[in-house]
Amino acid sequence: MTTGWICEEQAPGVRLCLEADEPLLRRRTAHQEIAVVPTRAFGRALTLDGRYMVTERDWPFYHEMLVHPALLSHARPERVLVVGGGDGGAARLALEHPSVREVTLVEIDPEVVAVARAHLGAVHGGSLDAPRVEVVIAPAEEFVPTRPREFDAVLIDSTDPVGPGQALFEPTFWAACARALQAGGVLSLQAGDPFYHPEVLAGAISGLGRAFAFVRPYLGFVPSYPSGLWAYALAGDRSLDTEEGLLDERFRSRGLVTRYYTPRLHRAAAVLPRFVEDLTPTKEAR
């Protein structure tokens, strides 16, 4: 029996409220307030400082669009860095690519990982304790500069650019990520919702453009996130692989099974509405 509602103010004058039971836990850490709340519509929801981070129902909508476009743009990704991502969803999907030998997950708050291990198995699927995954508790802005030319892919699964997430939206951090990639490597990041918070996406594309030769914004749909319309970006030192036949062949040969992502959607997601195009002058070969 539900006991009330949890509401996130997603923009001035806009709230998304979910009918929910009592939280399974609510605690204050050194960085933020964490809660896990059973909801009627979305299953268990993880919130940080009152914002929905991930839910059991729509986690693939977000994570598949963060992970698969990047890793399928690479012929053979072996070493993957996940920045943030303490819920384990990004690490779980990275491990589905057979060539991936090692996933390094860097999370600033150990309590996020502990809470996910205990309460969000439907999201991480055991990935947080998988042999190929190393969990590092550290600020990513301090860790990444120490790993030059180490990774084939960097997946920035951060919170919004407030609190602990602010440092992950700085041009100096993206430049460090570029140096952490091997030649031909690819970066992906979540860039917020372009409807209520267009400045996040605009700033990300501008900053990435100073660190990478090629940048491509794209969009997805995440029902529990502000406006439902969510922005991402891919970046690299080369034009990214987007030919549909190549993506489809890699998708099939890697044995991927998805709920949201498809190779056709991969290409379509980069076709932007006019208002998003106006935010994102990009650097890429067309």
CB-hemisphere CA count at 13 Å for 106? Answer: 21
Determine the longest span between alpha carbons in the chain, in angstroms: 55
Annotated catalytic residue within 58, 109, 157, 160: 157
The answer to whether 49 is a known catalytic residue is no
Give me Rg for the CA atoms of the chain: 18
Strand-pair category, 181-190 with 133-137: unpaired
Burial status of residue 39 (CB atoms within 10 A of its CB: 0-12, 13-18, 19 or more): buried
Residues 124, 94: contact at Cβ < 8 Å? no
122 Cβ contact list (under 8 Å, min separation 6): 43, 44, 56, 59
Here the tokens at position 149 are: 């030319």
Query: Catalytic residues, which ones?
Result: 157
